[in-house]
Structure 1
Amino acid sequence: MPKNENYSSNFQDKKNNHNPNIATILSLIFAGLGQLYNKRFLKGLILILLEVSFIITCADFINLGLWGIRTLGTMPGVDHSIFLLVYGLISLILIVFAIIFYVLNVKDARKQAKLIAQGWKAPSIRESIKIAYDKSFVYLLTIPGFVLLIFSVLLPLLFAVSLAFTNYDLYNSPPKNLLDWVGFENFGKLITAPLWKDTFVSVFAWTIMWTLVATTFQIVLGLFLALLANDSRIKFKKVIRTILILPWAVPGFVSILIFAAMFNNEFGTINRDIIIPLFGGEGIPWLSDPFYTRIVLILIQTWLGYPFVFALFSGVLQSVSKDWYEAAEVDGATRWQKFKNITLPHVLFATAPLLIIQYTTNFNNFNVIYLFNEGGPAVQGQNAGGTDILISWVYKLTFETNNYSMAAAISLIIGILISIFAILQFRRTSSFKQEGKI
């Protein structure tokens, strides 16, 4: 239904007794009745047909879905709680669609009833179709994609969030067992239960440290190398840039597996060919001591991440006007002052959103953590490894111990943290502001 129509040429001089309240009540009783009262017969019949079709097609499914999401089943071995949960979520989405449809229907009927009461004359069917097509064409193109987005993105997200409030685990899996709603019990375990509390605090602290240190290192290294490669005194810039970008050309998982072999405690080349010949002993326990494993992981991520930042900064530095540096030299500015007041602000202004994405990506950087040492080594008194971050811990809870509800609860915490961080940083970043308002 078009929200706005061109009524200016359809008003009559005299008002009539057409009652908008009647149109509103009829539309509330059944979609389309208000339009029939307004003598918009084609629109009214279409709305009536849509509501009848919706009731016939979806009524039983919605009834089953609402019962399923409320109870999650009543007969073990017969009712499947997961299926019922999905049916319930789909039913809620359909109900939201129906409510939006009804609200638009009522608003349309009441608005046109008011216009008719003021003397407006409805256009002919041909004119109505033309107006509707002109006003609704853009919605006809976007609505299918929007609906697909809801069922492909929003529905899985709602399902994952819902699991966080159930008791779905290895020992309580449908269809043999029924799930139950447990409220915030899973989140309470992360705070009160000793095993979960100790693990969550340790993993969360390492995740924050990993994100900040590894990402900052790759950004600083990328910026440093970009400044060197962009220096006018450096020769063979193209060769240097090609060499520095090479780590980006190798698939990440290949590099990680190679590093895992190089740092192996027993046969790795780092211990066998470097550490032991130079310092003696049995080498450094790269994979069995969490401290050394974390250091190696940070170095590996710095190696893997700096080429992108280097390429990004190199492109931005090319756009910095040389006139600014010449003017700064005339004013007697030092190299540090030129970097601090010209180079760095320009680079950060142009790249801040992408740098924020680097932090949020590393917060959930599963590949490096899992491929290098599967989140190990094991830590006594915890159900996560010494280098597990939140996302790799979620993976283990899901696929190794089948503790789906706790994995969903931690995933919800991850999503909230990343969303808050991203929103706050994007709001503080100048890159999305108009230049004249900076």
Structure 2
Amino acid sequence: MPQHQEQKQLTNNQKKFNPNVAMVLSILLAGLGQIYNKRYMKGISFIILEIAFILATFDFLWLGLWGIMTLGTIPGVDHSIYLLVYGIVSLIIIAFAVTLYVFNVRDAHKQAILLNNGKQPPSFKQAIRNGYDKAFPYIMTAPGLVLLIFTVVFPLLFAVALAFTNYDLYNSPPRNLVEWIGFNNFKDLATIPIWQDTFISVFSWTIIWTLVATSFQIVVGLVLAVLVNDKRVKFKKTIRTILILPWAVPGFVSILIFAAMFNDEFGAINRDIIIPLIGGDGLPWLTDPTYTKIVLIMIQTWLGYPFVFALFSGVLQSVSSEWYEAAEVDGATRWQKFRNITLPHVLFATAPLLIIQYTTNFNNFNIIYLFNEGGPAVQGQNAGGTDILISWVYKLTFDTNNYSMAAAISLIIGLIVSIFAFFQFRRTNSFKEEGNI
């Protein structure tokens, strides 16, 4: 075929298959763009799918969108929390639908361009085969994605939504309606004295608790691992077994035992140690916040160091003895060998896990609640003297039914942990290209 005829045919195809027309048709109704591109079966499938979706979900989506905007209008009839749930589910369904709709539009636009370039539309069987090959990874991961959305994303969205409502004991459906109040919960935390004082006190103790308790367990684990790994130490296996024993006992059992031992009235610490030594009634381990905080840090060090010790012990086994021998030849002291060889090697290999230790203790509910339920009570605050943010959220939820404020504090916790973990992981060498230690 002469060249001018080929160009003429290509020009005719471009006039026949306009990508913009195909895109607009697909926006108007899913499948019209595919029919315009002469992919009739695919276009009809999209049309049937869209019509079926509209007919099957219209009533539910309308109720959900109305519910999430109003949270109900008639007390005793409309249940605000149910409507909020319906609304969030509706938004998730709409997000799925929009994703498929965007795929439909992009597909029509892309196919029109390919047809203009001279590519013939595939047969129905070939289209099915090509679609299956391309979609196979998505088909296999779809069940997991759906499960993830409704077990992780949905509860997260629900908690975030509650943070902007007035859902509490006095605004509890179905008797009363819940209302959207914007950022009032966060404003109350910053302005109302009882909320402000409590939040500052609990947040400060949470930070101190996280940094001190975690750092102690890491330091103790590192020191013990370095000592046991010393070539002059005998019976290494026996010593390692003894040092890991606290890890073998369930944490809640150890916490309850310590709570009994430090009891002010009948605990073994006061009765058998403190009173015989200094007399009096012993120390107020459970009734004075300062003493309780000290005990909590010691208990967490006891519970947390075995994991760090086992982690560091494994890493130290991989440090070549030749490095230490070369350092000795150069006249390095023990401290210099530790600072320039042992410590960088250990931190490079374990930094992500150490960061997780900090984020875990930031939300370490078990030890705070099981030891003394976050107590003792503090005048002028609605949280105990040793409550951290997560245990305070628990009390707000189950003791005072202040769900919206609990959700607001939970949102703050999530942001703090996420930001901390994000920046620390990005700055960690083990998440970058491997270089020299």
TM-score band by shorter chain is over 0.9
* Alignment partners' CA distance in 2, 1:22 and 1:220: 67
**Superposed, which structure 2 residues align to 1:38-117 within 5 Å?**
38-117=37-116
Instruction: Return the letter of the residue paired with 1:225.
Output: L
Question: Offset at 1:434?
Answer: 1.9
Q: Which residue is 2:392 aligned to?
A: 393
Q: Which residue is 2:202 aligned to?
A: 203
* Alignment partners' CA distance in 2, 1:22 and 1:295: 72
Q: Which residue is 2:367 aligned to?
A: 368
**Superposed, which structure 2 residues align to 1:237-248 within 5 Å?**
237-248=236-247
Question: Offset at 1:99?
Answer: 1.3
Q: Which residue is 2:270 aligned to?
A: 271
Instruction: Return the letter of the residue paired with 1:175.
Output: P
Q: Which residue is 2:315 aligned to?
A: 316
* Alignment partners' CA distance in 2, 1:328 and 1:314: 21
Instruction: Return the letter of the residue paired with 2:368.
Output: I
Instruction: Return the letter of the residue paired with 2:379.
Output: Q
Q: Which residue is 1:414 aligned to?
A: 413
TM-score, normalized by length of structure 1? Answer: 0.96
**Partner SS for 1:347:** helix
Instruction: Return the letter of the residue paired with 1:231.
Output: D
Q: Which residue is 1:348 aligned to?
A: 347
Q: 1:152 to 1:335 in 2, by over 3 A?
A: same
* Alignment partners' CA distance in 1, 2:54 and 2:209: 53
Q: Which residue is 2:143 aligned to?
A: 144
Q: 1:47 to 1:200 in 2, by over 3 A?
A: same
Question: Offset at 1:125?
Answer: 1.4
**Superposed, which structure 2 residues align to 1:213-224 within 5 Å?**
213-224=212-223
Question: Offset at 1:131?
Answer: 1.2
**Partner SS for 1:178:** coil
Q: Which residue is 1:435 aligned to?
A: 434
Question: Offset at 1:389?
Answer: 0.3
Q: Deviations over 1:58-107 (max 9, x none)?
A: 11111100100000000101100000001111111111111111111111
* Alignment partners' CA distance in 2, 1:322 and 1:122: 67
* Alignment partners' CA distance in 1, 2:101 and 2:270: 71
Q: Which residue is 2:119 aligned to?
A: 120
Question: Offset at 1:120?
Answer: 1.6
**Partner SS for 1:435:** coil
TM-score, normalized by length of structure 2? Answer: 0.96
Q: Deviations over 1:34-76 (max 9, x none)?
A: 1011111221122112111110111111110010000000010
Question: Offset at 1:148?
Answer: 1.7
* Alignment partners' CA distance in 1, 2:276 and 2:434: 58
Q: Deviations over 1:190-213 (max 9, x none)?
A: 110000000000000000000000
**Partner SS for 2:67:** helix
Q: Which residue is 1:282 aligned to?
A: 281
* Alignment partners' CA distance in 2, 1:376 and 1:436: 48
* Alignment partners' CA distance in 2, 1:235 and 1:22: 81
User: How many residues are aligned here?
Assistant: 427
Instruction: Return the letter of the residue paired with 1:202.
Output: S
Higher mean C-alpha displacement, 303-312 vs 129-138: 129-138
Q: Deviations over 1:212-259 (max 9, x none)?
A: 000000000000010111110000100000000000000000000000
* Alignment partners' CA distance in 2, 1:45 and 1:396: 56
* Alignment partners' CA distance in 2, 1:249 and 1:243: 10
Question: Offset at 1:22?
Answer: 2.1
Question: Offset at 1:437?
Answer: 8.3
Question: Offset at 1:432?
Answer: 1.1
Q: Which residue is 1:185 aligned to?
A: 184
* Alignment partners' CA distance in 2, 1:262 and 1:329: 48
Question: Offset at 1:340?
Answer: 0.2
1:426 aligns with 2:425: yes
* Alignment partners' CA distance in 1, 2:151 and 2:225: 40
Q: 1:437 to 1:114 in 2, by over 3 A?
A: farther
Q: 1:382 to 1:107 in 2, by over 3 A?
A: same
For structure 1, list consecutive stretches of 5 or more residues without a partner in the other structure. Answer: 1-11
**Superposed, which structure 2 residues align to 1:291-302 within 5 Å?**
291-302=290-301
Instruction: Return the letter of the residue paired with 1:61.
Output: F
Q: Deviations over 1:142-193 (max 9, x none)?
A: 1221122111110100000000000001111001000000000000111100
Question: Offset at 1:117?
Answer: 2.1
Q: Which residue is 2:3 aligned to?
A: none
Q: Which residue is 1:8 aligned to?
A: none
* Alignment partners' CA distance in 2, 1:308 and 1:20: 60
Q: 1:162 to 1:437 in 2, by over 3 A?
A: farther
Q: Which residue is 1:3 aligned to?
A: none
* Alignment partners' CA distance in 1, 2:115 and 2:241: 72
**Superposed, which structure 2 residues align to 1:5-44 within 5 Å?**
14-15=9-10, 16=13, 17-18=15-16, 19-44=18-43
Higher mean C-alpha displacement, 210-219 vs 32-41: 32-41
Question: Offset at 1:436?
Answer: 4.2
* Alignment partners' CA distance in 2, 1:118 and 1:260: 77
Instruction: Return the letter of the residue paired with 2:375.
Output: G
Instruction: Return the letter of the residue paired with 1:265.
Output: D
Question: Offset at 1:21?
Answer: 2.3
Q: Deviations over 1:367-409 (max 9, x none)?
A: 0000000000000000000000000000000000000000000
* Alignment partners' CA distance in 2, 1:21 and 1:242: 71
* Alignment partners' CA distance in 1, 2:301 and 2:372: 17
**Partner SS for 2:381:** coil
Q: How many percent identity over aligned positions?
A: 75
Question: Offset at 1:118?
Answer: 2.5
